[in-house]
Structure 1
Amino acid sequence: MPETTVIAHVRAKTGQQEVVGAELEKLLIPTRSEPGCIRYDMFVDANDPAHFVFIETWESIDAHHVHLEQGHMEGFLMACKGTIAEATFYHLENR
């Protein structure tokens, strides 16, 4: 299977960017140590502090699917319930 790159956009609701940003940062260390994770980097839009972007590279789409089922991902979703305005994910295959 080819490597998979994921571009994830997460936008916090108005006034919630501090909470969402802090919870997203908690994902960095455990995710980077997951099997199949090649790259997992978080960015904040310089013009919109409520907009977070992740650039992720995984050994395969299956590795990314396993990532989404990890306890730290579930914890993030519970901690941020009601604080996220939208989230968009793009799955890109390397050619």
Structure 2
Amino acid sequence: MSKLFIVVGLKAKAGTENVLRQDLSVLVEPSRNEDGNVRYELFEDQDDPGHFVFVEEWSSAEAQARHHEHGPHIQHFHANGASNIEKTTFAHMLKRVV
């Protein structure tokens, strides 16, 4: 079992920046409390408002998969808030080199 690090960039649709900011913000605490979560942080680009970046660390790929596929707060977001995302600007699953 090895740790998994993830960074994901999401760009809000024009005019939905505030709504998406709120919808993404409410994902943070429940995600941090999930079994296997080590780190779960949300950032916003200072030079590009509405461009959000998640930085995640999970104890394993399995823990992250449970979060993404079965977390009720994530499922609720996909059903109700994801429509405010214009695009995913990047998504990287990383492994530590050193």
Question: Matched residues, percent identical?
Answer: 33
| Aligned residues of 1:2 and 1:94 also touching (Cα < 8 A) | no
Q: Give the TM-score, by structure 1 length.
A: 0.94
Q: Which residue of 2 aligns with 1:74?
A: 75
TM (norm. structure 2) is: 0.91
CA distance in 1, matches of 2:80, 2:21: 11
More strand as a share of residues: 1
What is the aligned partner in structure 2 of residue 35 from structure 1? 35
Of 76-85 and 46-55, more deviation after overlay is shown by 76-85
Structure 1 alignment gaps of length 5 or more? none
Structure 2 residue ranges without an equivalent (≥5): none
Question: For residues 56-71 of structure 1, what are the structure 2 equivalents within 5 Å?
Answer: 56-69=56-69, 70-71=71-72
Per the alignment, residue 20 of structure 1 pairs with: 20
Partners of 1:49 and 1:61 lie apart in 2 by 30
> Which 4+ residue blocks in structure 1 deviate beyond 2 angstroms?
none
Q: CA RMSD in A?
A: 1.0
Deviation at 1:82, TM superposition (A): 2.5
3-state DSSP class of the match of 1:94?
A: coil
**Structure with greater helix percent:** 2
